[in-house]
Amino acid sequence: MSTSTDLTLAIEDLTVSFDGFKAVDSLNLYIDKNELHVVIGPNGAGKTTVLDLICGKTKASSGSIKFLNKELTELAEHEIVRAGVGRKFQTPSIYENLTVFENLEVSYPYGRTVIGSLFFKRNNEVVKKIHQIAKEIMLEDVLDTESALLSHGQKQWLEIGMLLIQDPQLLMLDEPVAGMSVKEREQTAELLKKISKGRSVLVIEHDMEFVEQIAQKVTVLHQGKILAAGQMDKVQKDPKVIEVYLGH
Amino acid sequence: MMTKHNPFRCARTTLMTLVASVSVSLALTANAASLPTAEINTTGLAITDDTVTVGILHSLTGTMAISETGAQEAEKLAIKQINDMGGILGRKIEIIQEDGASDWPTFAEKSRKLLVRDKVAAVFGCWTSASRKAALPVFEKENGLLYYPTFYEGLEQSKNVIYTGQEATQQILDGLNWVAKEKKAKTYYLIGSDYIWPRTSMKIARKHIENVLGGKVVGEQYKPLGDTQFGSVINKIRLKKPDVIYAAVVGGSNVAWFKQLKAAGITSKKQTLLTISVTEDEVLGIGGENLEGFYSIMKYFQSQDNENNKAFVAAFKEMWGEDSVIGDVTQAAYLGPWLWKAAVEKAGSFDVDKVVEASETGEIELTTAPEGYVKLHPNHHLWSVARVGRWNKDGQATVVYESELIEPDPFPAGYQ
Amino acid sequence: MSFFYNKLIGGKEGLTGLILLALLILVVFPLTLDLFRLNLVGKYLTYAFPAVSLVLLWGYGGILSLGQGVFFGLGGYGMAMFLKLEASSPENTAIQSTPGIPDFMDWNQLTELPWFWEPFNSFAFTILAILIIPAAFAYIIGAAMFKRRVGGVYFAIITQVIAVILTILIVGQQGYTGGINGITDLRTLNGWDMTSDSAKYIFYFINCALLLCIVLLSRFILTSKFGSLLLAIRDKEDRVRFSGYDVSNFKIFIYCFAALISAIGGAMFTLQVGFMSPSFVGIVPSIEMVIFAAIGGRMSLIGAIYGTLLVNFGKTAFSETFPELWLFLMGGLFISVVMLFPNGLAGLWNDYKHHLTNRFAFITKRFKSQKTLTRPTNAESESLS
Amino acid sequence: MLGGYTYGELGSILAMQGFAGFSLFSVLLLMALGLAIIFGQMGVINMAHGEFMAAGAYTTYLIATLTEQYFPAFMPYYFVFAIVVAFFVAGALGYLAEFALIRHLYKRPLDTLLATWGLSLIMQQSYRSIFGAREVSPTLPEWLLGSYQPTDTIDIPLNGMFVLVLTAVVTFAVFYLMFKSRWGLRVRATTQNRVMSGAVGINTNKVDRYTFALGCGIAGIAGAAFTTIASTGPTTGTLYIVDTFMVVVFGGAASLFGTIASAFSIAQAQSILEFFISGSMAKVYTLVTLVLILMFKPEGLFASKVRR
């Protein structure tokens, strides 16, 4: 299995423990190319920890994470990003005192070294790319606005845009619609469908309605382990899942 | 920008019994009017027909303020007394006081201000060697005159400085001779704060102990300035069982050192201790009960029993309060204005070059100094006496030994 | 396009500020002050180097170093060692037991020049050492700390401890360093009298020119992508890291650069004041440097220079008149800058300017500056937890 | 080492040296406990901690002077009374400081550093204006002077033993307060989640203020205790501040157990090194080692690995 070449992400036997408490326990998870995969689960199920493990924020106790056949557990965070993994945080994590344009520019994947950044030039190519991304995330009109002044939903999109500009092969989103209005949710769902073309997307979500809108494949986590996995409608009917959600 | 502190704020007192007797012909002091300002001041100093301005430069703030307070008080007292006697060459002394703020470059900066802007005729000031070293180039460049009061490590002799405290050999050697003879001491433990004065003093002491007295130094230890933990050092001393502990710990560390020594059961009943860094000022903080029976080597103790000193102590207390204590440096600072007065009157001029020239004749002497007779050596240091005092519970010392008048030798051969 | 326009205006405004500053220190001061005061201003301006370095490091990078005095000292000592060797020619030191070595070595029974003093006989080496040694030292500290993600408060305290260690070492190893007295009595530079009036003028102008160059260089850094990244790292370090940047390298670079600037200031200090002592290395001077930057405005390069001048003028004036009040005033100043004007003089000036031009703009600016006020918090509270 | 000494003598020295280490340990711990609460639990970098210690020391001095003058018969007992008063005086000053300054700065820990540095300057100058620039020492009761001699060759300093016992008492009190009392629960809840604590009805402002005051009060006790071993001057506080921070940071800021362990290891290292090499270099080596260890273990000795 682990030698499979057509998978974007292959997590095998992944375990992490904090002072003896296993937050993620022998997890196996596979994501195909161009797949939009949603991980759901009650609070404390270990969803965010899984993202932390993939992007290197937390180091695994054991197990392997292979991204396009490259082992990630050995790499530093920035190397994982450069390999093609982008991650959006739960609360919008943008540079509030920079403009939307500058936010995107800072995320532009050139000039990533100290010297490179000192002599980075804002040429036409950069400007063009920024405008293209801004259009995609519906923020073209507010490019020069200081990003602190954006609405909550716009901030979430901006962060997605900051990832998109790096053109990642795997995009990981932690609760992208939390705190959004109904209209914004719909727009976000559209956005997700659009961007999942040509790359794999891993979404963590609470909101079952939203999950129904976007999900192709769903994995249910509970206490660090997989409770159920498969197509959305099947998972929803799984009695174990129902018990966990209702009994919670 | 500047304040002229008025040193004359206390009421005119019974006339000072203290009168400077100077080895200068009376004719010079007799008539000020016969001395036109243009003649006695050819270098543009701040001197008018009836005033002459001097500077006082000590730390009023910062860590050194504790030590330097007494010195500036003594200088102001001396100046007040001189003014009460009619001033110098018929001119009253006015003071510009500056704060060195315990910061060495500030001393340099303020020295420059006093010399360049205020054109003072002389400066009484500095306390630590570091502040003097910082100010020295300024005095040499601007050709100023500094009276420096602290006992110090020696190894310096500048045309522009008169050192009114003892240099290290003057202070140390006779005291060591005394302890070797009196206490039959053979083994010595040296301990000091870690900076230049204790280290130089210890170096001189070690050479003297080993080469002259035929004794043995069984340990030498330095603690960082301000350190307050002496437990391990005291145990080390216990292990070495020296006949004499020879100490040069300063500042806040000094208090901790003696308190902990006493707490560790090392008292004068069992142990001879000789220190070169405790004056009456320090005793205030340390507490007489912690020092009782230990010895200091200084050139002056407040308890010295002579007429000069009685008058001085009374005048000092009258000006600065009954609770004032007077340490070695305070007394040395008091000598500064008097020595300057003597030299100016001998030279018949305030010009620095002439005052220095008069000072270098070897004829400037004070018979009325509280410490006793002192004479200015051509090498800018004072001939003085070394005294050993034994501390009593009340914070005063009993003088148990007095040397002959010792010649100052800032560059002692064989001790470098 | 409006973006570039704004940028340009910002540049223009910055240019005005720079020209005003240059006019003040290059023309107004030399014309109106006597040499004594000018020399004082020159000394103060050397403190402005570490203050400017703290704007970069602390204001923009969110890295509070309480040990800039270490680098100021290293630069100053480098220069002082060269000058001391020149002053200790065998002719000048003939009365010593070992002529030809600095006087304090002779007092401490050293009989030959320690090996690490030898290269400081060369002026070229000295200049290189002043530029390289502090930066290299900063690299070692920075690499060790930032790679391990020591940040915020911990970094501040560790740099403070390093300042303490260096002070104790300098004071304790006096045979090699001159101890607490420092390295004093420096009079000539390559045979040229440093204490002459003309030399003082020349050093003053060199100092000003260097300072202005440093401001320009710092501007260049801040307006580059590196500058934006620095702010980004301060506010959202994780976001930058997960955008594919090796954050520690950026921090190390700015720390080294800040060390370099401070060291140049230290070297200029030695040249103008004529000595160097451990009292510029310890905690107190290091924190004072932070205060200069804070009072001038932690986000403003030029503000830091004005802050340095203002505090030092105040210190001199007040300590001449009311030495007792000075510490109260200084303490009150720290507190009020932190509590009421977190953006310092520069913030006040901006408010005032906008107040003059447009009342409405003033209100929004206040609103904005309120925000700036809360900005550094995220980065800091995160690094604390 | 054995040359010329009997085993008995060496044993005595060893015992006394061991006590010297313990004594230093208790001093460091007593200094650091207050800061461990203020910095470790509340995250406030209190650069004026040393000045709060000085407040306790000056209080003791004042009480000693008054007692000596007006109630000489009370001299043997005043010291215990002075410690209690020192606690309340320093605590009250801390209460004021929290009210006037600190509470506005909880979200800006690095700025508390600057503000409290300003505060420390003001406090230093106040001491200088009130008590004068000279260092002072209270007259100590007889029972605090001298040493206890279990054998002929062993002297255990009484003041050291006193500080040791006092430290033990204060440490147990702090532990009881922080981990067993209802109030301690509130403090820990507030420091961990301010918003949530407010929501469940804890008056977080009050908790903050009293916690800060408690930390300062303990500093006051430390200051009072230190009058037995050193003197007090306006700038005494600055001598202790770096050591104090080192102890807290090295132990892992949030862990009181860590503070104890760190005080213990620093004290032992320092006192053993000092026995063999010069005091200055012992200090340098100790600090360098601490910095190196902190570089490898930035979260300190006893920080638990947490899920973030």
pLDDT, tens only, C36-61: 889 989 999 999 999 999 999 999 99
- Tell me, yes or no, whether B237 lies in a domain: yes
Q: Is D76 on the interface with C (CB under 8 A)?
A: no
Indicate if B211 and B352 belong to the same structural domain.
no
Rounded to a whole number of angstroms, the distance from the CA of A114 to the nearest CA of chain C is 6
Number of domains in chain A: 1
B184: in domain? yes
pLDDT at position A195: 86
Asked if the C-beta of A99 comes within 8 angstroms of chain C's C-beta atoms, the answer is yes
Same structural domain for residues B31 and B139? Answer: yes
Q: Which of D6, D131, D229, D284 is the mutation pick for testing B, counting most B CBs within 10 A?
A: D229
pLDDT of amino acid D2: 54
Backbone angles phi, psi at B218, to 5 degrees: -95, -5
- Scanning D100-129 for CB atoms below 8 A from C yields 101, 104-105, 107-111, 113-115, 117-122, 124-125, 128-129
How many domains does chain B contain in total?
Answer: 2
Q: Which one, of C118, C110, C92, C81, lies nearest residue C267 by Cα?
A: C81
B146/D156: higher pLDDT: B146
Q: Which of C165, C311, C378 to mutate to test the interface with D (most CBs of D within 10 A)?
A: C165
Give the closest-approach CA distance of C171 to chain D in angstroms.
9
CB of D211 within 8 Å of a chain B CB? The answer is: no
Query: With an 8 Å Cβ cutoff, are B232 and D20 in contact?
Result: yes
Smallest Cβ–Cβ distance between B194 and the set D19, D147, D280 belongs to D280
Q: Does residue B292 sit in the same domain as residue B175?
A: yes
pLDDT grade, residue C323 (50/70/90)? low
Which residues from chain C sit within 8 angstroms of residue A128, using beta carbons?
none
DSSP chain A: -TT-SSEEEEEEEEEEEETTEEEEEEEEEEEETT-EEEEE-STTSSHHHHHHHHHTSS--SEEEEEETTEE-TTS-HHHHHHHTEEEE-SS----TTSBHHHHHHHHSSS--SHHHHHT----HHHHHHHHHHHHHTT-GGGTTSBGGGS-HHHHHHHHHHHHHTT--SEEEEESTTTT--HHHHHHHHHHHHHHTTTSEEEEE---HHHHHHH-SEEEEEETTEEEEEEEHHHHHH-HHHHHHHH--
pTM for the model stands at 0.87
Q: Check: CB of residue B150 under 8 Å from CB of residue B165.
A: yes
Residues 43..72 of B with a Cβ closer than 8 Å to D: which? 60-63, 65-66, 69
Q: Which of C2, C228, C245 sits opposite A98 (nearest CB)?
A: C228
| B351: closest CA of chain C, how far (Å) | 22
What distance in Å separates residue D301's CA from the closest CA in chain C? 13
Query: Using CB atoms, which residue from C161, C169, C331 is nearest to D246?
Result: C161
Same domain? B291 vs B311: no
Report CB contact under 8 Å: A114, C249.
Answer: yes
Q: Which residue of A has its CA nearest to D307?
A: A18
pLDDT tens-place string over residues A110-137: 888 888 888 888 888 899 999 999 998 9
In this complex, do D306 and A23 lie within 8 Å of one another by their Cβ atoms? no
Residues of A in contact with C239 (CB under 8 A): 89, 93-95, 159, 162
> What local confidence, expressed as pLDDT, does residue C359 receive?
54
Task: Give the pLDDT confidence of D210-238 residue by residue, as tens digits.
Answer: 999 999 999 999 999 988 888 888 888 88
Considering the domain architecture, whether residues B338 and B394 belong to the same structural domain is answered as no
Q: Are B200 and B82 in a shared domain?
A: no
B370 in a domain, yes or no? yes
A125 to each of A108, A128, B237, C8, how far by Cα in Å?
A: 11, 5, 77, 21
- Asked if chain D contacts chain B via 3 or more Cβ pairs within 8 Å, the reply is yes
Q: Would the CB atoms of D305 and A18 count as touching at under 8 Å?
A: yes
Reported as a single tens digit per residue, the pLDDT across A36-51 is 889 888 777 788 888 8
- Are B61 and C319 inside 8 Å of each other by CB? yes
Whether D306 and A18 lie within 8 Å, measured CB to CB: yes
Flag if B109 and C180 touch (Cβ within 8 Å): no
Q: How many CB atoms lie within 10 A of CB C69?
A: 31
Best probe of the D interface among C158, C292, C340, by most D CBs < 10 A, is C158
Compare C5 and B206 and report the one with higher pLDDT: B206
Q: Kindly identify which residue of chain B lies nearest to residue C110, measuring between CA atoms.
A: B416
Residue in chain B closest to C98 (alpha carbons) equals B416
Helices C2-23 + C301-321 axis angle, to 10: 30
Instruction: Evaluate if residue C163 carries a pLDDT over 90.
Output: yes
Report the pLDDT value the prediction gives residue B246, as an integer from 0 to 100: 96
- In whole angstroms, give the CA distance from residue B254 to residue B250: 5
In a domain, B364, yes or no: yes
Q: What's the pLDDT band for D154 if we cut at 50, 70, 90?
A: confident
Which residues of chain D lie closer than 8 angstroms to B262, CB-CB?
145-146
Q: Is the pLDDT of residue D138 over 90?
A: no
Name the percent of chain C lying above pLDDT 70: 87
Q: Is the pLDDT of residue C235 over 90?
A: no
- Which carries the bigger pLDDT value, residue C80 or residue C377? C80
- B364-388 as b/e, with b when 16 or more CB fall inside 10 Å? bbbebbbbbebbbbebbbbbbbbbb
**What pLDDT shows up at residue C69?**
95
Nearest to A117 among C3, C229, C371 (CB): C229
Enumerate the residues of chain D whose CB falls inside 8 A of the CB of residue B235: 13, 16-17, 20, 275
Q: Are residues B396 and B253 in the same domain?
A: yes
Q: B286: which chain D residues are within 8 Å (Cβ-Cβ)?
A: 137, 231
Chain D: touching chains (3 or more CB pairs < 8 Å): A, B, C
| Average pLDDT of chain A to the nearest whole number | 86
User: Residue D198's pLDDT is what?
Assistant: 81
> Is there a contact between D20 and B239 if contact means CB atoms under 8 Å apart?
no
**Which of A19, A49, A58 minimises the CB distance to D304?**
A19
pLDDT band at C381 (very low <50, low <70, confident <90, very high): very low
* DSSP letters spanning chain D: --TT--HHHHHHHHHHHHHHHHHHHHHHHHHHHHHIIIIIIT----TTHHHHHHHHHHHHHHHHHHHHHH-GGGTTTHHHHHHHHHHHHHHHHHHHHHHHTGGG-TT-HHHHHHHHHHHHHHHHHHHHHHH-SS-B-PPPPGGGSSEE-SSTT--EEHHHHHHHHHHHHHHHHHHIIIIISHHHHHHHHHHH-HHHHHHTT--HHHHHHHHHHHHHHHHHHHHHHHTTTS-B-TTHHHHHHHHHHHHHHHH-TT-HHHHHHHHHHHHHHHHHHHHHS-HHHHHHHHHHHHHHHHHHSTT-TTPPP---
Chain D residues in contact with B61 (beta carbon < 8 A): 125, 128
Per-residue pLDDT at B4: 40
On whether any CB of chain C is under 8 Å from the CB of A129, the answer is no
Same domain, B73 and B138: yes
Nearest C-alpha of chain D: how many angstroms from C33? Answer: 31
- One domain, residues B209 and B62: no
Nearest residue to C227 (alpha-carbon basis) of A79, A102, A108: A102
Size of interface C-D (CB pairs under 8 A): 121
CATH of the domain at A59: 3.40.50.300
Across the interface, do C283 and D242 touch by the CB < 8 Å criterion?
yes
Find the domain containing A99 and state its range: 7-246
Low-confidence stretches of chain B (pLDDT beneath 50): 1-32
Is residue A1 included in any domain, yes or no?
A: no
Q: Per-residue confidence at C207, pLDDT binned at 50, 70, 90?
A: very high
Q: Do C342 and D104 touch (CB under 8 A)?
A: no
Indicate the DSSP class of residue B167: B
- ipTM of this predicted structure: 0.85
Which residues of chain C neighbour A86 with C-beta distances below 8 Å?
Answer: 242
Mean pLDDT score, C104-133:
92
What CATH number is associated with residue B111? 3.40.50.2300
Interface of A with D (CB under 8 A): 18-19, 21, 23, 49, 58
B179 and B290 both lie in a single domain: yes
Residues in chain B with CB shorter than 8 Å from the CB of C182 are 104, 130, 133-134
Over range C259-278, report the average pLDDT: 94
Among C9-18, C246-255, D90-99, the least confident range: C9-18
CB distance C273–B194 less than 8 Å?
Answer: no
Q: Which residue of B has its CA nearest to C40?
A: B109
Q: How far does D107 lie from chain B, in Å, by closest CA?
A: 32
Mean pLDDT in residue range C354-358: 66
What integer is the mean pLDDT of C282-296? 90
Q: Tell me: do B151 and B293 sit in the same domain.
A: no
Instruction: Please tell me the predicted confidence (pLDDT) of residue D3.
Output: 59
Q: What is the extent of the structural domain holding B203?
A: 168-298+388-406
Please report the pLDDT score of residue D285 as a whole number: 92
Residue D4: its pLDDT value, please? 66
Compare all CA atoms of chain A with the CA of C220 and give the residue at the minimum distance. A118
CB contact under 8 A, C152 and D110: yes
Q: Out of C161, C168, C328, whose CB is closest to D280? A: C168
